Structure 1
């Protein structure tokens, strides 16, 4: 099939991923067809297969891209010295980073179930990698006598769930600024681990 005039892979590929992300987040993975994605991008449905072999692979690529980006961004984040400063940095980073990506966050939590076993395991591995970074901070804080978290894994999952939930209700220009939300959540997390 000939490429549409004006179509370029470095432009069309990202447009396909952006359209799929929005449609999957709005309507759910199962309800969205490849034809709908193609229509949103303005290409023939068959053209999508130049960029992805199937819809599940497209979803997997979106979830992997989100997790890779999240982990890479945390790696460059100045973490501060000591467990308390690092925990605060993690809280503020997680909120700040994810508020700019609500569709990607939604897909990461709600559409993971649509992946086959191998793809599911790959994304779960990336999630565990990210969670381990927080769990390490909590364990170090407990060892230093700064935190009280009887089960660091449960505390990790609870904190991440609480922080990620911000993307479901926060609206730009609303009652609270992003910084104020970060302040409130940091206070709640700090109290939750008795720091």
Structure 2
């Protein structure tokens, strides 16, 4: 029997995850079959099971990888941002926008496909999301304690700011009227005004 294109030993998990990411983002998790993922990679559908037990695991791995990358990047930046709540909030704002703009498929899946995770996988991803939210909530609480911010409920403010910043992905396009630097500056000004005394 002739070998299928790509069915040699260099087919790896990362190629399968990239194909799944693209297909899930374009068509939605529920509409994509393992056969379609295999076709995108260029292997027989059965070969996928050498790399992943099922489609649910692929979805979970994609979300987990995205959240772990985000948390790792924030940890690195937080160490540089210093102690000043205003500087930390600006860094969080600008970094959130830029990190997410560079990963539109990951962001779409991370927000739109949560409902398709099993309860166990959902709990793990939700825990990672909560860790990220906690960083912003801590910044806001520190700013309130320092008398720099006036935020009646830091947790609600955290949800509002993250939703606002993530929303940039729905409309921003490179080469449009505003550069990404300009968008960051405008959003930072809005966030600053939202929380300042």
TM-score band w.r.t. shorter chain: over 0.9
**Equivalence for 2:92:** 90
**Equivalence for 1:57:** 57
Query: What does 1:23-34 align with in structure 2 at a 5 Å threshold?
Result: 23-34=23-34
SS of residue paired to 1:62: helix
Contact 2:7 2:42 in 1 (8 A): no
**Equivalence for 1:18:** 18
Unaligned runs of 5+ in 1: none
TM normalised by structure 1 equals 0.94
TM normalised by structure 2 equals 0.94
Count matched residues: 192
C-alpha separation between the residues in 2 aligned to 1:76 and 1:120? 26
SS of residue paired to 2:149: coil
Aligned counterpart in structure 1 of residue 168 of structure 2, from 162, 166, 187: 166
Query: What does 1:112-131 align with in structure 2 at a 5 Å threshold?
Result: 112-131=114-133
TM-aligned CA deviation for residue 167 of structure 1: 1.1
Query: What does 1:1-195 align with in structure 2 at a 5 Å threshold?
Result: 6-9=8-11, 12-77=12-77, 78-195=80-197
**1:143-185, CA deviations, whole angstroms, 9 ceiling, x for partnerless residues?**
1111111111100011001111111111111111111111000
Distance 1:62 1:125, change over 3 A: same
Unaligned runs of 5+ in 2: none
TM-aligned CA deviation for residue 8 of structure 1: 1.9
Structural RMSD (CA): 1.4
